[in-house]
Structure 1
Amino acid sequence: MRILRFFQRQLATRPLPTQMCIAGTISGCGDCFAQYMSNNKGWDKWRTARFSFLSSCFMAPTLFIWFRVLEKVKGGSRTLLLAKKLCIDQLCFSPLFNAAIIFNLRFLQHQSIGKSCELLKEDWLNIYATSLKV
């Protein structure tokens, strides 16, 4: 119970740093689990570090700001408001955010800027289309 109260207090008083820590931790743990389940080559600690860094230092702050912007959308019934927010998110923000994540991940994998852009062009449409299905 103490840990939960501490977490809730931190989230209330320091929302962004708390969300950054949580995002990095969840992403790192998720990558460790994925590596454990998918290969027998051992643990790639640098891959885990890249995912944790990207989640905590790029994704969490970006989403922190974006969701506050999205909350400013007003008007209509509850269902219409939800539809508006969903469309704005999936048609305006998601394509750019997906592209930024793909580029940054490749760049953190020591790809050059040119190579990261090239790989982004190859992968983006498929990733974005799949995210729309989800």
Structure 2
Amino acid sequence: MAKSLLLVSRQAPWSGPGAREALDIALAGGAFDLPIGMLFLDDGVFQLAPTQYPEAIQQKDLTANLQALPLFGVDSLYVAQRSLDERGLADTTLDLPVQCLDDAALRDLIDRYDLVITL
């Protein structure tokens, strides 16, 4: 049986390659039917914010990759409620349907997965 993998994406989409790499791993793993979840934590929650303008800072838009996650079988998407609150974001305005988790639920989530990779 395949081990489950939780990808923790902690970088904003414009702060370096971490956000893109997390999405690439999720899409590749999903293509091979691996049980994958994604947690958006800290500045990683900015990946889910609407109306981003990456071309203004000469970056590639990650929206299409994010929207493709469910198509590749990556349906377990989570976000840290504390990270949203600290950055003034509301879960009702995010571009993807995600499950918001408090700190206790985050610990439980991490314990449920066999492997955890933080990017």
* TM-score, normalised via structure 2 length: 0.28
* TM-score, normalised via structure 1 length: 0.26
Higher-Rg member (1/2): 1
Higher helix content, 1 or 2? 1
Higher relative contact order (CA 8 A, sep 6+): 2
